[in-house]
Structure 1
Amino acid sequence: MPVTWAQSSSSSDAAAFLAALPSCALPCLVTAIGNSNCSATDTACQCADTQLNEEVALCVGASCTLKESLTTKNLTETNCHAPIRDKSRDYSITAVTLGSVAGLFLILRVVHKFFVLKSALGMDDWFVIVVIISGIPSTVMSVHGLAANGLGKDIWTVPFDQITKFVMYFYIMEILYFAQVAILKLSILFFYLRIFPAQGIRRLLWGTVALNSVFGLAFVFVAIFQCSPIQFYWERWDLEHEGTCYSINAMAWANAGMSIMIDIWMLALPIWQIKSLKLNWKKKVGVGMMFSVGTFVTVVSILRLQSLVHFANSLNPTWDQLDIANWSTVEINVGIICACMPSLRLILVKLFPRVMGTTHDRTARSQYYYGQNSKVRRRSRSFGQMRIASRVSSDGVGKVQTPGIVYSKSYAVEYGDNDEASLVPMKDLDLEAKGGPTVRATSDDIVQGKAWADR
């Protein structure tokens, strides 16, 4: 920890500074000044001399306690007029903003399902509600626990009792984070189970549910009991308490790595299913928007993993752990937004039907064929949503110049607003998996068959 010597505006300030220094630091300062080119009264030179500062830092670290070292650092930084770093307000704004947006998305999801669709909440809804419920105290602790007790500041500027509170709140937030990540994944997995009917994909999804549940429970348990006694987690920073802890860095890396692998697997499963479907471009945009947000969550997890490099070994944790706290907040709240994307799409379809509506081919086809000396006849039949009409014409009445089947198409817009499962027509996949006929038989084939039947 680098230490700088004081730059005082008067001899009285210098005397006050020397009087405030811990007794263990004063000999280190005298020795370092004697080995430098600075005089005892040239405080500007002493503040600018990097080698002098490093020598004092090594000596203070070896001769003083951690609290005495922090006191020395604070006094010298203050007297050398070093800039005071403070990003606690930025972090608070990020936490409150993202938490509010995620909460708004969930409210829209629940209100739309209850009052518009008039349907019961599914397992995917309940799991994301649990994440929000746990996210409310997380947001409160982010502002009044972490930021209020030093997050985003240099540790030597934070009072000792606040450092202890900061580490304690960080411990609680770590446990909540592990639980929220696992529960959020369960919400998305149960959504997949609702829209994917094929047995093969459902077995993979249930296996992923089991793996994710074990993964979440294991890390929550380890996080709670990573130190013995438990309070040693937030007491050990001052090096004055006794206890043992697991490797916190190893646990954080293992959790992040496992979470990223499950994320990638969960992105691959729906893509594998959807790629075989022929979707209108508007529906592809809706599906792509949901899964692109899911990709962003995975990217955020990777960025958070990078910020864990100095997680447990930092000498300035209140400052160095700001990135971890920021990325964790972004990851959870963007994950909630991602889980609510299907419901948001349904709301947008109702508000902007021409832009967000999906188009289905409801075709009306007419067939014409003729034979020698035949009478004019017209038949109209209904097949599902398609209406088939055929006509035989003789000379002079509706004569058709081109032999064979002639058809015309008309299109109508249908809005898939029954529930989120209408995002993609997954029933086709179920029929194909069983080897049976699918509902995607082309209307050309149907029309041709009816025409021959009428003949």
Structure 2
Amino acid sequence: MANDTITPAGSPPAGQTSNFINPDYVGTKFLVVNCVFLPLAVIALGVRTWTRLFVVRSFRADDYLMVMALILSCVMTGVTLDMLNWGLGKHMWDVPLSDFSPQFNKLNLIAAIVYCAATGFTKCSVLVFYLRIFPSRNFHMAVWTLVFIAAGYSIASVLANLLSCHPVAKSWDSTITTGYCMNRPVFYFANAGLGIFTDFATVAVPIPWIRPLQMPIRQKIAVAAVLAMGCFVGIVSCIRLASLYNLLKSTDLTWTTTDALMWCTIELNLGIFGGSVTAIRPFVRRYFPRLLGLSSAGGYYGSQSRKQAHPLNSMPRSGQPDFSNHGHQYSTTLTASRNAADNDSEEHILSLNNPGTPKEMDGIIRTVEFDIENTSTAGR
């Protein structure tokens, strides 16, 4: 319904009039997407944080980076949902000019800045996580190159959004007629292209080092699922690029921005989810061991060795073992404290509740085997 006392943010197309009472609206789907994908990211990071603090007991740089990404994702959700009150999801001609400028424009600028920073933190977190998995120097050089690219273009994107107009206030205040602004949709388009490159590069860089690894089939499936999640984030980035192309061609900003922001939300939160999944293996190993092929939370990583094993403290303290027989093979077991923290190594962890585990072998054991040969001297 038109109102002569309200100036619309844009002129309606031929045959249509402004409707400020009951306009066309697509903001509901944007609300639903936020209510689905943000909790997904929060749950994933919550499990990751529990794992780092109480299972592994080692909270590192990649974890802090991912926490920052989630905080920024929550900020972005709050900002973009507030944009629904100022015209997001409606046609420009159904939005009062006083709502579009300055409120909608200002919130849109804040959302763009927060998104660029959050995606930078997410990608850098995943890449830094890679650094402590593979010790190869060449791999570290490749990862640090990607970190430099991801962090560099994220910082540049934040600054470009912030300084996109001169004066800066021209970004949101349409009453300022002096100065100039860059073509922000074109910038978003270029930024998305760099984002897609880093998404797929982040997935591709560990593949040459993963392929030679000999792992149980379930672990290979888990690794494949993690990489598939990264590919899916890249696909979402491509879809977002298509939505930005529509934004580039359209003058109906409040309407077309809805899809662009929706795909930004999906991409960012899926990135946090996928990046957190890569770090919760100890959680799965402790609470859901069958997913990794273990018989119990504290069970072996396979069948128990049939070689005779003795706890280190069960070896005689006086005298030496009888090494007189040729070809004897001995095995010793180093027993760690039962309160030792879990980690990502391939050490065997024995459970307190495992009926086949001797009390003195409770904890982490490491088996060391050595062969003894009987040699004779020339004089004997």
Pairwise TM-score range, normalised by the shorter structure: 0.7 to 0.9
RMSD: 3.6
User: What is the alpha-carbon distance in structure 2 between the residues aligned to residue 217 and residue 68 of structure 1?
Assistant: 33
SS at match of 1:151: coil
- One-letter amino acid of the structure 2 residue matched with residue 287 of structure 1: V
Q: Does 1:113 align with 2:52?
A: yes
Q: Which residue number in structure 1 is paired with residue 93 of structure 2? A: 156
Residue 230 of structure 1: CA displacement?
1.4
Q: Determine if contact 1:149/1:166 at 8 Å carries over to the other structure.
A: yes
Classify 1:68/1:208 alpha carbon distance in 2 versus 1 (closer, same or farther; 3 Å): closer
Q: Does 1:248 align with 2:196?
A: no
User: What is the alpha-carbon distance in structure 2 between the residues aligned to residue 422 and residue 253 of structure 1?
Assistant: 43
User: What is the alpha-carbon distance in structure 2 between the residues aligned to residue 331 and residue 384 of structure 1?
Assistant: 51
* Structure 1 segment 43-442 matched on structure 2, within 5 A: 69-70=11-12, 75=17, 84-119=23-58, 121-144=59-82, 146-164=83-101, 165-236=103-174, 241-357=177-293, 359-360=301-302, 363-364=305-306, 380-382=328-330, 418-419=342-343, 421-422=344-345
Residue 228 of structure 1: CA displacement?
1.0
| Structure showing greater Rg | 1
Q: Determine if contact 1:286/1:345 at 8 Å carries over to the other structure.
A: no
- One-letter amino acid of the structure 2 residue matched with residue 418 of structure 1: D
Q: Determine if contact 1:267/1:294 at 8 Å carries over to the other structure.
A: yes
SS at match of 1:381: strand
Q: Determine if contact 2:20/2:95 at 8 Å carries over to the other structure.
A: no
SS at match of 1:343: coil
User: What is the alpha-carbon distance in structure 1 between the residues aligned to residue 153 and residue 20 of structure 2?
Assistant: 47
Classify 1:177/1:118 alpha carbon distance in 2 versus 1 (closer, same or farther; 3 Å): same
**1:47-93, Cα deviation, whole Å (9 max, x unpaired):** xxxxxxxxxxxxxxxxxx975834997646699xxx94212122122
Classify 1:105/1:78 alpha carbon distance in 2 versus 1 (closer, same or farther; 3 Å): closer
**1:298-357, Cα deviation, whole Å (9 max, x unpaired):** 111111111111324422111111111110000100000011103333323322222334
- One-letter amino acid of the structure 1 residue matched with residue 38 of structure 2: G
Q: TM-score, normalised by structure 2?
A: 0.75
Gaps of 5+ in 1: 1-5, 7-16, 23-64, 367-376, 386-416, 424-445
Q: Structure 1 vs Structure 2: percent identity of aligned residues?
A: 25
Classify 1:78/1:111 alpha carbon distance in 2 versus 1 (closer, same or farther; 3 Å): closer
SS at match of 2:168: coil
Classify 1:98/1:68 alpha carbon distance in 2 versus 1 (closer, same or farther; 3 Å): closer
User: What is the alpha-carbon distance in structure 2 between the residues aligned to residue 154 and residue 68 of structure 1?
Assistant: 8
User: What is the alpha-carbon distance in structure 1 between the residues aligned to residue 283 and residue 201 of structure 2?
Assistant: 28
Q: Determine if contact 1:74/1:156 at 8 Å carries over to the other structure.
A: no
User: What is the alpha-carbon distance in structure 2 between the residues aligned to residue 166 and residue 96 of structure 1?
Assistant: 21
- Most deviating of 255-264 and 324-333: 255-264
Residue 122 of structure 1: CA displacement?
0.6
Classify 1:76/1:277 alpha carbon distance in 2 versus 1 (closer, same or farther; 3 Å): closer
Corresponding pairs, count: 327
Q: Determine if contact 1:89/1:147 at 8 Å carries over to the other structure.
A: no
Q: Determine if contact 1:256/1:305 at 8 Å carries over to the other structure.
A: yes
SS at match of 2:173: helix
User: What is the alpha-carbon distance in structure 1 between the residues aligned to residue 249 and residue 80 of structure 2?
Assistant: 22
Residue 378 of structure 1: CA displacement?
9.7
User: What is the alpha-carbon distance in structure 2 between the residues aligned to residue 268 and residue 153 of structure 1?
Assistant: 40
**1:239-281, Cα deviation, whole Å (9 max, x unpaired):** x733311122331122111111122222111111100111110
Q: Which residue number in structure 1 is paired with residue 322 of structure 2? A: none
User: What is the alpha-carbon distance in structure 1 between the residues aligned to residue 170 and residue 72 of structure 2?
Assistant: 25
- One-letter amino acid of the structure 2 residue matched with residue 192 of structure 1: Y
Residue 193 of structure 1: CA displacement?
0.6
**1:193-215, Cα deviation, whole Å (9 max, x unpaired):** 11111111112212222222222
Q: Greater relative contact order (Cα 8 A, min sep 6): structure 1 or 2?
A: 2
User: What is the alpha-carbon distance in structure 1 between the residues aligned to residue 139 and residue 329 of structure 2?
Assistant: 38
Bigger helix fraction: 1
**1:110-132, Cα deviation, whole Å (9 max, x unpaired):** 1222122222x111001001111
Classify 1:232/1:76 alpha carbon distance in 2 versus 1 (closer, same or farther; 3 Å): closer
Q: Determine if contact 1:21/1:72 at 8 Å carries over to the other structure.
A: no
Classify 1:384/1:158 alpha carbon distance in 2 versus 1 (closer, same or farther; 3 Å): farther
- Most deviating of 344-353 and 280-289: 344-353
SS at match of 1:168: helix
User: What is the alpha-carbon distance in structure 1 between the residues aligned to residue 203 and residue 105 of structure 2?
Assistant: 35
Residue 450 of structure 1: CA displacement?
5.6
Q: Which residue number in structure 2 is paired with residue 49 of structure 1? A: none
Residue 360 of structure 1: CA displacement?
4.4
- One-letter amino acid of the structure 2 residue matched with residue 338 of structure 1: G
Q: Determine if contact 1:96/1:139 at 8 Å carries over to the other structure.
A: no
- One-letter amino acid of the structure 2 residue matched with residue 381 of structure 1: Q
- Most deviating of 191-200 and 214-223: 214-223
User: What is the alpha-carbon distance in structure 2 between the residues aligned to residue 345 and residue 226 of structure 1?
Assistant: 43
Classify 1:78/1:179 alpha carbon distance in 2 versus 1 (closer, same or farther; 3 Å): closer
User: What is the alpha-carbon distance in structure 2 between the residues aligned to residue 383 and residue 214 of structure 1?
Assistant: 53
